[in-house]
Amino acid sequence: MASNNSESKDVRHKIVLTRDLGPDVMGLLRDREENYLELVLWDKEEPCNRDWILKNAPGASALIVLITDKIDTEILDAAGPKLLVVSTMSVGYEHLPMKELAKRGIKVGYTPDVLTDAVADITIMLALMAGRNARETMNIVNEGKWPEYNWAPFLFCGRQLSTSASSRKRTAGFIGFGRIAQATLSRLIPFGFTDCIYTSSPSSKPTPTRDAQLAQTLGLRSVRRVNLGTLAEESDAVFVLAPGGEATLNLVDEQFLRKMKKTAVLVNTSRGTLVDSDALAKALREQWIWGAGLDVVKGEPGISADHPLVKEQRCAILPHIGSATYETRVEMGTLAVQNALAAIFEKPMPAAFDLTGYQ
């Protein structure tokens, strides 16, 4: 290892971890522990206790935290002036006090990008499940009711994600057109999708050249930025893949859903707040649209069995497992640790959050 002042044996850095991240990730820290690091670890299965963080933070160089750990000024004060970095194993950062971190010059690490493929996979899965009545038909089997159904030409029929001889056009509509949306779009190409439309944040600049290149690369007839009404009207599958927060609250509301095709599906794998749950339940009940696939629901995880969306058989709901694969979670944990170590040892962080806007 290259010699480096801050890695000398005289300076042992305290790292506080709010969770055991499994052998693959922890190994990265254990390797250096003897010489350079003091690890303080919450090793229980339940979420880390706030009092435990307050008690163990003093003198820490790094806090490695999860999305469930609310970090605030009191914790930063408890940590004291040695704190160089807060590194979260998440792409979201609603649990971090960004302004305060910027003010104190504490670096922030997060884990974007590594979850792109895991989320794109589940987005495709939910689009298929919504179109093919997967929840409804799987329940029929699980409840032992399959024997009650006789084959018939249109029994259990759903809507086909793929094009077919009599239905040669498919339009994918993306609310938000970042990395996950584009990874989803690339997966839709062999299903025969012909067109892509998307909406972006009103403040972002149009990118017609990029769009034309993307269409050519993917063999699509068009990639176009449109307004929300056009997106609702023209899409065969609508994918909600924009950030949460006030600016996107209830973007998919009754007005939007009424404009959608009766044969179209809605998929949300970003944040529950973007979709008005009551409006969507009504749209499914009254068959304004064909079906929905949700990995996120407003108010999660407080979703009971009598939630209006849970009651709709045409709504397949997953408990926010978009990034929940071993591959991706190990990569997220690895990146969180690498961010912390880089900040401590004064090297470039692989995924530093840009705090410029908070200063």
State the minimum distance, in angstroms, from the CB of residue 171 to its own copies: 15
User: Which residues, 112 to 171, sit near its own copies by CB under 8 A?
Assistant: 114, 117-118, 120-122, 124-125, 128-129, 131-135, 137-138, 140-144, 146-147, 149-167
Per CB under 8 A, 217 contacts its own copies: no
Shortest Cβ 19–its own copies spacing (Å): 6
Binding residues with its own copies: total (CB under 8 A): 85
How many residues are given for the chain? 359
Q: Which is nearer to its own copies, 82 or 311 (CB)?
A: 311
Task: Pick the closest to residue 82 from 22, 38, 32, 145 (CA basis).
Answer: 38
Chain centre to alpha carbon of residue 154: 36
Site for its own copies in 239-278 (CB under 8 A): none
**How far apart are CB 206 and its own copies at their closest, in Å?**
26
Q: Which residues of 207-222 are buried (b: 16+ CB within 10 A; e: fewer)?
A: eeeebeebbeeeebee
CA pair distance 263, 128, nearest whole angstrom:
13
Q: Which is closer to its own copies, CB of 24 or CB of 38?
A: 24
**Using CB under 8 A, which residues numbered 278 to 317 contact its own copies?**
300-307, 310, 316-317
187 in contact with its own copies (CB under 8 A)? yes
Asked about 320 being catalytic, the answer comes back as yes
Site for its own copies in 320-339 (CB under 8 A): 320-321, 324-334
- Cβ–Cβ under 8 Å, residues 211 and 177: no
Sheet holding 107-109, edge to edge: 37-41, 13-17, 62-65, 85-88, 107-109
Of residues 9-38, those binding its own copies (CB under 8 A): 19, 21-22
Torsion of CA 127, 284, 135, 184, to 10 degrees: 10
Closest approach of its own copies to the CB of residue 261, in Å: 13
Site for its own copies in 41-70 (CB under 8 A): 45-47, 66-68
DSSP three-state, residue 254: helix
Catalytic residues: 320
